[in-house]
Amino acid sequence: MAEGWRETNRAWWDERVPIHAASDYYDLDRVRRGGDTLRPFEIEEVGPVEGLDLAHLQCHLGVDTLGWARRGARVTGLDFSAPAIETARRLASDAGLAAEFVHADVYDAPRALGGRDFDVVYTGFGALNWLPDLRPWADVVARLLRPGGFVYLAEFHPIAWVFGDAGLDVVHDYFRSPQRFDDAAGSYADREADTVHNQVVDALHGLGAVVSAIAEVGLTVEHVHEHDVSLFARWPWLERYDDGTYHFPEGRPRIPLVYTVRARRAERPAERRR
């Protein structure tokens, strides 16, 4: 079912890069002028990054990567879309920020990054659903971390995808394998954009599957936080706040819309004394 997923998904992303770069959603001019795209809970949960080596997997246009660079991290973004990496490099240069951007598939990251290791591996918001297999992804994350380093993952909550687009009736399976399907033209950043590569191979990775994959590669899970906030109007009745986040109306029962995980690689075991 997922055969050919990489070519299908890369064509989808390559076509959307210029659309996203010109979109209000990504507002690259704001980033050029010094604007920040990281969410307050990410900044708090990751903590200070000054002087740390940070790898951002599936970095897209690099806007969040540059947010960590502004906070003093030495950043390396990686993405399998060549136009995305070119755009990210230009954006870093326009913003006057030091950042390295590498064109590679996430499953090939350890080789593409020359065997380097990092204090922080960051990945976020609309990344994991493009990957058919979690366990090899978690292996990559563990290999990129130096002893004592941690992965920080911020994602849309999988429960939000089982409902229809109007209300909270369950219409999609939570336990589904990666699926190939014809998506609408355009994208979340520009619904009206005219596009020809509209097929995707998409996965829904349950919360348990993600956390288990991370634990199975030997990382210690430090937190799994669920947040009642989203970054887009998952349903038309969510309320948009001035900071661009979306919330349940006052009094309406809430479900989590976003989750974050921090998991750490153990320090090197102390050498035994004779």
Ligand X SMILES: C[S@@+](CC[C@H](N)C(=O)[O-])C[C@H]1O[C@@H](n2cnc3c(N)ncnc32)[C@H](O)[C@@H]1O
54 sits near ligand X (criterion: CB under 6 A): no
Contact 12, 188 (CB under 8 A): no
Nearer to ligand X, 94 or 266 (CB): 94
Contact set for ligand X, span 8-27 (CB under 6 A): 9, 13
- In the sheet that holds 246-247, the strands lie side by side as 229-230, 246-247, 239-240
Stretch that binds ligand X, among 73-81, 164-172, 177-185, 260-268 (CB under 6 A): 73-81
Rounded to an integer, what distance in angstroms lies between the CA atom of residue 88 and that of residue 84? 6
Contact set for ligand X, span 178-197 (CB under 6 A): none
Rounded to an integer, what distance in angstroms lies between the CA atom of residue 127 and that of residue 153? 10
Mode of pairing for the β-strands spanning 118-124 and 53-57 = parallel
Q: Which of 73, 207, 208, 219 is nearest to 143 (CA)?
A: 219
- Least distance from C-beta 44 to ligand X, angstroms? 18
87 sits near ligand X (criterion: CB under 6 A): no
- Least distance from C-beta 273 to ligand X, angstroms? 44
259 sits near ligand X (criterion: CB under 6 A): no
Rounded to an integer, what distance in angstroms lies between the CA atom of residue 173 and that of residue 159? 10
Size of the site for ligand X (CB under 6 A): 19
Site residues for ligand X per CB under 6 A = 9, 13, 58, 60-61, 63-64, 79-81, 84, 105-106, 124-127, 130-131
